Structure 1
Amino acid sequence: MSKPSKSNLKYKICSLLSLFFMLFFLFPSFIHADTSLQGYKEVFQDSPIIPFLNKKESSKENNKEQYQRLEDVKVVPGGQSIGVQLETKGVLVVGHHQVKVSEGAKSPGEAAKINVGDTIVEINGQKINHMTDIKPIVDNSGKENKKLQIKLKRGDKMIETSLQPIFDKKEKAYKIGLYIRDTAAGIGTMTFYDPKSGRYGALGHVISDMDTKKPIDIKQGSIIHSSVTAIEKGDNGLPGEKQASFQTQEKRIGNITKNTDYGIFGILEKEVNHEKYEEAFPVALSHEVKEGPAKILTVVDGEKIEEFDIEIISSVPQKSASTKGMVIQITDPRLLELTGGIVQGMSGSPIIQNGKIIGAVTHVFVNDPTSGYGVHIEWMLEDAGIIKPESNQNAA
């Protein structure tokens, strides 16, 4: 048998060396990648903000895109009464007040052209998160006779101004002549939640500040279990309202990450009980909604969700987002007797027609509390992050 040539021998040696280097350098990186992935899965699965994921899901399933195809969307209808607590981004200016001085009275804030509805986000380079952040800064500037350098958010614009605190002799403190607020609270109704991701939608309309009437730019917020204690019946020219109680944080069921024209949205942190419906429902888009009978789910006593008859008076197929897509009328005799129609706190009550969720109650007609507006469900699904905006437009 002939001996192998030198060139063949060199080729085999080079091949073996290449294989050795590949195994030496690449194999440890494979082990490291696998270990890192396991660590990531543990942290991800232990996080309380996504409680509905099965802990046995593979990493491939965990990394699926959050959005669903329209034809696959199924969500559980709500109807639960919820307490809502919001913290603003910065401190909201809700009014001016006059500070008494020797020559009369004046408002430094008004003189500095700070408007109602502005948000104070920074003073003297320090970020402002709460009302309590402001007093020590004002005191120091007043004692040193220095002007405050204030950064404001007005709509989409950032504005800078300066303000000189003045000493209120009666209260013996430096004042800036502004009424401010950093939190808001109220009640409403949950519309739906996605049992897979825990994403939810509620209210069906934006939360605005009661004094400024402007949408609240939120930093964070909570939704809380709420119990309806009484109902003030509505009448022509005078909307009624639900009266409810909720305990701060103790019964928190989820966070609030968005406050938009179509409601509040976030992630559930606890499973929500629903004695009426546990299974997920398909959704109907605006062009599928029909004039005629439908039902709403809402609470009128305690925490019990009940079903009531309504009529869809009109529905407009929509290719672009709108908050008032449907006109609805309460027809259920018992609900009319209890509430007079649509009342404050009922916003977000899901509307169901032909076994599908079609939208939510949003507004009442002041001169006819039996009637009001509803929002189509697709716009809430978009803001909840369940469907992509373009997928809804293509379907319509």
Structure 2
Amino acid sequence: MDFDLNLPKFLADNFEFTINGVKPTTFYLGSTTPVAANPGQLEVQVKLFGLIPVRHMTVSVVPEIRVIPGGQAIGVMVESEGVMVVGRSAIVDEKGIRHNPAAEAGVELGDVLIKVNGQKVETESQVRDIINKLGQDGKSLDMELRDRHSKEIYKTRIKPIYCNETKRYRIGLFVRDSTAGVGTMTFFDPQTKSYGALGHIISDIDTCQPINLDRGKIVAARIEGIRIGRKGQPGEKMGVFRGENDISGTITKNTNCGIFGKLNKAPKNIYGNGTVPVAMAGEVKEGPAEIYTVLKGDKIEKFKIQIEQVNPHSTEGKGMIIKIVDQRLLQKTGGIIQGMSGSPIIQDGKLVGAVTHVFINDPSRGYGVLAEWMLYDSGVLPKHVSERNYAEFGAMTNIAC
């Protein structure tokens, strides 16, 4: 462990360090004091001339975490809590009059419908049938929804209208109960059976609102084709789900740093039987690195990148700015493409992060999330070790991959 005080040597020579009340038997005088320590809490005291207290710090020492690096293509299936409002439309009744009762009641895109007349709703078909039945009975709907902005529950009453086009009662909403897509696994922890993938939150494709996870699973996927990315037109991997023979697991968390859960069995490690250490945020540096990802079938390949900037204290999805420098990858994909999210980034033999976003105006560049943040959200590393500050992402000229 290093303490970097950024002091000139003539000052550092006059400082005394104590750890848990004991002066280290060995340390370097100067800007950095290396201290060997066991995992746990350390009380560090710094005094000038051994008398004047200068700084007191409580430091959490993190044990080395070792994981199996990912790179596998995975199919992701997520079901939300309730059903998300993804569209609104006018209803034309039998007299040709247009109505939009949901819009008039203040229901907005991205709101989540949780209950109708006290009954929890989980699927699109369930909501459709309830609305039609209550409409036939001449009854109104007492609806409970979660506001897309405040995340608070609000209630509203809506009376269904008979739609002359569909021949059933409607309230003027389109809803979605699930989403699916292809991504990449980042790591697997053999000790806890936990995995991390994607490196970013799963949001609804129409509303761009984060999905409130109810349940989900991942399975193995096979990449069948590539749509090359270009400036202003992000590319994508085109894949098919292979089922649960090779990879299968639950999704229990959907966070700014990715999706997390448990695997039923350890994935194959194509790089040998060993694990690799995970780099803490302070260890990641600018310079060359590699990503592991699949471009065809289920074959994981290595490609060269450059870590251009490291922001260890920034919001989770912007921990790194990366650039694809591997000419073969650029030729095949044009750069970072959708479906590449979660591709592990390896530097100096350590897992340092995962690919997350692409810059729309420059597909060769994008963001990476730091592996340390993924470890916290996965539960592999206790959150009390860090004082992370969660923040909403502002407007970004990039998209999730």
TM-score, with structure 1 as normaliser: 0.79
| CA offset digits 1:4-58 (Å, max 9, x no partner) | xxxxxxxxxxxxxxxxxxxxxxxxxxxxxxxxxxxxxxxxxxxxxxxxxxxxxxx
Change (3 A) 1:251 1:356: closer
Pairing partner for 2:177 from 179, 182, 190: 182
| CA offset digits 1:123-159 (Å, max 9, x no partner) | 0011111122223322232122121000001142000
Note if 1:97 corresponds to 2:92: no
Residue identity in the other structure for 1:307: K
- Higher strand fraction (1 or 2): 2
Pairing partner for 2:142 from 139, 146, 149: 149
Give the drift of 1:234: 1.0
Q: Structure 1 residues 210-219 or 140-149, which shifts more?
A: 140-149
Pairing partner for 1:262 from 257, 261, 270: 257
CA distance in structure 2 between the aligned counterparts of 1:170 and 1:256, rounded to whole angstroms: 39
CA distance in structure 1 between the aligned counterparts of 2:319 and 2:121, rounded to whole angstroms: 39
The share of aligned pairs that are identical, in percent, is: 45
Give the equivalent residue in structure 1 for 2:63.
71
Partner SS state of residue 229, structure 2: coil
Pairing partner for 1:352 from 346, 357, 361: 346
For 1:101-112, list aligned pairs within 5 A.
101=93, 102-112=95-105
CA distance in structure 2 between the aligned counterparts of 1:216 and 1:260, rounded to whole angstroms: 10
| CA offset digits 1:56-84 (Å, max 9, x no partner) | xxxxxxxxxxxx97323111110001010
Residue identity in the other structure for 2:113: I
Bigger radius of gyration, 1 or 2?
Answer: 1
Change (3 A) 1:225 1:152: same
Change (3 A) 1:74 1:249: closer
Pairing partner for 2:288 from 290, 293, 298: 293
Tell me, yes or no, if the aligned pair for 2:221 and 2:243 is still in contact at 8 Å: no
CA distance in structure 1 between the aligned counterparts of 2:292 and 2:173, rounded to whole angstroms: 42
Change (3 A) 1:225 1:248: closer
Stretches (4+) displaced over 4 A: 247-252
Change (3 A) 1:159 1:252: farther
Give the equivalent residue in structure 2 for 1:81.
73
| CA offset digits 1:359-392 (Å, max 9, x no partner) | 0011111111111111111110001000112314
Pairing partner for 1:334 from 328, 339, 358: 328
Tell me, yes or no, if the aligned pair for 2:224 and 2:240 is still in contact at 8 Å: yes
Q: Which has the higher contact order (CA 8 A, sep 6+)?
A: 1
Tell me, yes or no, if the aligned pair for 1:321 and 1:379 is still in contact at 8 Å: no
Give the equivalent residue in structure 1 for 2:166.
171
Q: Once superposed, what is the RMSD of the aligned Cα atoms?
A: 1.8
Pairing partner for 1:115 from 78, 95, 108: 108
Note if 1:382 corresponds to 2:376: yes
For 1:49-64, list aligned pairs within 5 A.
none
CA distance in structure 1 between the aligned counterparts of 2:84 and 2:319, rounded to whole angstroms: 31
Residue identity in the other structure for 1:297: Y
Give the drift of 1:250: 7.0
Pairing partner for 1:369 from 360, 363, 374: 363
CA distance in structure 1 between the aligned counterparts of 2:155 and 2:245, rounded to whole angstroms: 39
CA distance in structure 2 between the aligned counterparts of 1:365 and 1:171, rounded to whole angstroms: 42
For 1:100-249, list aligned pairs within 5 A.
100-101=92-93, 102-155=95-148, 156-247=151-242
Q: Structure 1 residues 380-389 or 166-175, which shifts more?
A: 166-175
CA distance in structure 2 between the aligned counterparts of 1:254 and 1:370, rounded to whole angstroms: 32
| CA offset digits 1:263-316 (Å, max 9, x no partner) | 000000133113234321111112111111101100011000111111111112
Give the drift of 1:248: 5.8
Partner SS state of residue 236, structure 1: coil
Give the equivalent residue in structure 2 for 1:313.
308
Change (3 A) 1:373 1:363: same
Change (3 A) 1:122 1:138: same
CA distance in structure 2 between the aligned counterparts of 1:277 and 1:262, rounded to whole angstroms: 27
Residue identity in the other structure for 1:188: G
